[in-house]
């Protein structure tokens, strides 16, 4: 340990706060302590540590602390620091999901019902979570068919009533904007919506049944049919929910399953005593840790974006008192944090754990398939073409040209067997006249190699280059690469027989059908071809766009760029009105009139 670290350890305070472990200036772990002196010093003491701490501490060359006034303040800061920095040695929630909720604020005048994905402390009531956008839309549409709430965005009350919209005419709104109802009448509708969302369906169904009978007696058969459909939809939406807990129970059940590589958390949602669904979450962590520690990290990250239930039931957790206060702060009302040892709640926790185990097994199988298709395929390819090490970065090149048009070369990049689209590049061929694929490929390879040899360029060097074509394309590519100062492994893939041509070989090699390596090189070749074609289409469209406009008076390069930015294509410009043309940046009336007349006579 260096002298600077020793001095910092000696001056640590006995205060609550957060500590940030660093490696070469990068934050690699964030933790919270009731007593910073005792907690931070424990990391540097000899003795037995957890696998994670044993792996981390040899890398730590510095640390910082932030002193807080309370344990709760430290907990809030810890959450924010982990969210901001995502340190390598912290347990991180990989699946960052945002569930939809239904929101209504009964304290507002004539409130609306909204679908939202963020729960705010704004005095409104939030109902959910719903596990998909489709599920929340089904409930939303059902409520719209039963309760005539407004959907307009008017800020009520208006200074002067306006004409009611179509929803009023068809009985889907009470039209408070037009003064057609009182606050008390509208408030009854709002209360009905709230009771429905709280699970009080029985008396609402009874009222609907009475309304249906009345409509039928009055020979309003269409209205009766609509009410009948609404009743059927209520039954359909609620029949799948199993009663698992006490009446009106509002609970989140959380458990975890982990193996040596991964951890999976499972949350089961119980609302009004009924299971409304559940979801699993993959956690990134460095080495196996105690379940109570992993669950603490999960709970803090999960409830940063989701409203806690009235009761959160977990298998195990550390720092439970602070977590309970933090959950209360997130919900706005008291939250019970329960660690069951027996009974129905323990049964629910075990159900969540079984679901977590099943989800982790499925994830592991998918990860294995993905590995075989990507990294495993790269390993197989390296063996087949005689490389000493597995290529991480493979670049694929293709040429696209049209009759008498400019040739375009594409470069696609696969890293660990997967496309890395932000690394894709296009080369407009400059030194070749006409459609000459061999010379065009040579230019593209030469320009690419020079980029990687330029010390000021951010381009990384390839581990392997694939060119689309046969032995001739390979020959030209190799010569261009060497002339540019490069010496990278390179091969060609011919399309007809899927033959692989290697430098110095007179005959091609063939990869086994359905082999991961063959599938990989086909994907790279096809992606390079797709990217080249799309580049050429874009270039042709831009050229056509320019030629169509350059003869029109007042439409110079700057206005052409502005038109392209606003309308994206010629068809949209042809269909634009004078008002739309005049809204283009830098456009004046004479130029807009000339442009409009050019397409409308």
Q: How far is CA 226 from CA 135, 216, 284, 386, in A?
A: 21, 11, 50, 71
How crowded is residue 292: how many other Cβ atoms within 10 Å of its Cβ?
A: 16
Does residue 210 lie within any of the structural domains?
Answer: no
In this structure, is residue 257 part of a structural domain?
yes
pLDDT at 27 over 80: yes
List, for residues 118-154, the tens digit of each pLDDT value: 877 778 888 877 767 777 888 888 888 888 888 888 8
**CA distances, 205 to each of 228, 235, 242 (Å):** 10, 10, 19
The H-or-E segment that residue 26 falls in is: strand 26-33
Task: Tell which wins on pLDDT, 227 or 518.
Answer: 518
Q: Which of 253, 404, 457, 426 is nearest to 336 (CA)?
A: 253
Q: How far apart (Å, rounded) are the C-alpha atoms in residues 63 and 26?
A: 10
CB 547 within 8 A of CB 555: no
Does residue 415 lie within any of the structural domains?
yes
Query: Does 477 lie in the same domain as 457?
Result: yes
Q: Please tell me which residue, 296 or 373, carries the higher pLDDT value.
A: 296
Identify whether residues 399 and 483 lie together within a single domain: yes
CB 493 within 8 A of CB 468: yes
518 and 577 assigned to the same domain: no
Q: For 302-326, what is each residue's pLDDT tens digit?
A: 998 888 999 999 988 988 999 999 9
Answer yes or no: is 201 within a domain: no
Q: Which of 55, 90, 125 is the last residue of a domain?
A: 90
* Same domain, yes or no: 413 and 492: yes
- Residue with the larger pLDDT of the pair 162 and 489: 489
Q: What are phi and psi of 421, to 5 degrees?
A: -65, -25
State the total domains in the chain: 4
Tens digit of each residue's pLDDT (9 = 90 or more) over 458-514 = 788 999 999 999 999 999 999 999 999 999 999 999 977 899 999 999 899 999 988
CATH number at residue 489: 3.30.420.340
The candidate with the shortest Cα–Cα distance to 191, out of 120, 154, 143, is: 143
If we measure between CA atoms, which residue out of 334, 266, 265, 326 comes closest to residue 294? Answer: 265
Report the half-sphere exposure of 399 (CA within 13 A, side-chain side): 24
Q: How far apart are CA 243 and CA 276, in angstroms?
A: 10
Name the token pair of 599.
Answer: 């397409």
The string of DSSP codes covering 169-186 is: HTTS---GGGT-S-HHHH
- The answer to whether residue 570 is domain-embedded is yes
Look at residues 279, 264, 440 and name the one whose alpha carbon lies nearest to residue 365. 264
Average model confidence (pLDDT) across the chain:
85
Task: Look up residue 509 and give its DSSP letter.
Answer: B
316 and 419, same domain (yes or no): no
The alpha-helical segments, DSSP class H, found in 240-342 are: 291-302, 320-331
| 337 shares its domain with 440 | no
Let me know whether 534 and 558 are in one domain.
no
One domain for residues 511 and 418: yes
Where does a domain end: 495, 518, 539? Answer: 539
pLDDT for the residue numbered 543:
59
Please provide the size of the chain in residues: 601
Residue 2 has phi, psi (to 5 degrees) of: -80, 165
Determine the pLDDT at residue 242.
46
| Alpha-carbon span 580 to 136, nearest angstrom | 37
CATH number at residue 85: 3.40.1440.10
Residues 514-539 have a mean pLDDT of: 85
The CATH number of whichever domain residue 351 belongs to comes to: 3.30.420.10
Q: Are residues 438 and 532 in the same domain?
A: yes
Q: Are residues 289 and 312 in the same domain?
A: yes
State the residue range of the domain holding 385. 378-539
The stretch 434-450 carries a mean pLDDT of 91
């Amino acid at each position: 340990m260096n002298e600077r670290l020793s001095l910092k350890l000696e001056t640590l305070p006995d205060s609550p706060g957060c500590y940030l472990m660093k490696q070469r200036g990068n934050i690699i772990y964030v933790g919270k302590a009731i007593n910073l002196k005792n907690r931070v010093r424990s990391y540097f003491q000899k003795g037995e540590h957890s696998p994670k701490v044993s792996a981390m501490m040899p890398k730590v060359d510095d640390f910082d602390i932030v002193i807080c006034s309370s344990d709760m303040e430290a907990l809030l800061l810890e959450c924010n620091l982990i969210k901001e920095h995502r340190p390598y040695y912290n347990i991180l929630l990989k699946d960052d999901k945002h569930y939809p909720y239904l929101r209504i604020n009964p304290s507002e005048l004539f409130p609306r019902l909204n679908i939202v994905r963020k729960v705010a402390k704004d005095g409104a009531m939030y109902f959910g979570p719903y596990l998909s956008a489709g599920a929340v839309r089904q409930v939303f549409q059902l409520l719209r068919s039963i309760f005539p709430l407004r959907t307009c965005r008017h800020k009520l009350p208006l200074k002067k009533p306006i004409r009611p919209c179509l929803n009023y005419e068809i009985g889907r709104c009470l039209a408070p904007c037009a003064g057609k109802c009182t606050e008390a009448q509208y408030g009854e509708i709002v209360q009905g919506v709230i009771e429905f969302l709280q699970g009080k369906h029985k008396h609402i169904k009874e009222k609907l049944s009475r309304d249906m009978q009345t409509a039928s007696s009055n020979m309003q058969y269409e209205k009766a049919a609509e009410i009948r459909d609404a009743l059927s939809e209520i039954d359909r939406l609620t029949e799948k929910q199993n009663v698992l807990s006490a009446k009106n129970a509002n609970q989140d059940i959380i458990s975890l399953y982990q193996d040596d590589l991964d951890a999976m958390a499972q949350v089961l949602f119980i609302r009004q005593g009924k299971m409304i669904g559940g979801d699993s979450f993959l956690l990134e962590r460095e080495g196996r840790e105690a379940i109570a520690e992993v669950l603490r990290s999960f709970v803090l990250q999960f409830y940063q974006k989701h409203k806690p239930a009235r009761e959160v039931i977990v298998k195990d957790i550390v720092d439970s008192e602070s977590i309970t206060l933090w959950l209360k702060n997130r919900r706005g009302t008291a939250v019970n944090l329960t660690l069951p040892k027996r009974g129905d709640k323990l049964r629910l926790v075990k159900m969540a754990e079984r679901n977590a185990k099943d989800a982790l097994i499925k994830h592991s199988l998918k990860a294995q398939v993905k590995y075989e298709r990507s990294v495993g395929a790269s390993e197989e390819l390296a063996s087949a073409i005689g490389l000493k090490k597995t290529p991480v970065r493979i670049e694929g090149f293709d040429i696209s040209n049209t009759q008498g048009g400019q040739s375009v070369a594409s470069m696609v990049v696969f890293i660990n067997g997967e496309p890395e689209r932000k690394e894709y590049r296009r080369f407009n061929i400059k030194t070749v006249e006409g459609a000459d694929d061999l010379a065009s490929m040579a230019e593209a390879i030469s320009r690419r190699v020079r980029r990687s040899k330029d010390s000021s360029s951010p381009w990384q060097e390839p581990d392997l280059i694939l060119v689309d074509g046969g032995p001739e394309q390979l020959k030209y590519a190799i010569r261009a690469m060497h002339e540019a100062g490069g010496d990278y492994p390179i091969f060609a893939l011919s399309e007809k027989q899927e033959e692989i041509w290697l430098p110095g070989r007179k005959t091609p090699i063939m990869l086994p059908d359905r082999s991961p390596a063959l599938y990989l090189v086909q994907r790279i070749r096809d992606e390079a071809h797709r990217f080249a074609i799309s580049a050429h289409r874009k270039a042709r469209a831009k050229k056509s766009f320019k030629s169509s406009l350059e003869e029109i008076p007042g439409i110079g390069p700057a206005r052409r760029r502005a038109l392209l930015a606003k309308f994206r294509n010629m068809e949209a410009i042809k269909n634009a009105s004078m008002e739309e043309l005049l809204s283009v940046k830098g456009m004046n009336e004479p130029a807009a009139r000339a442009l409009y007349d050019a397409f409308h006579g």
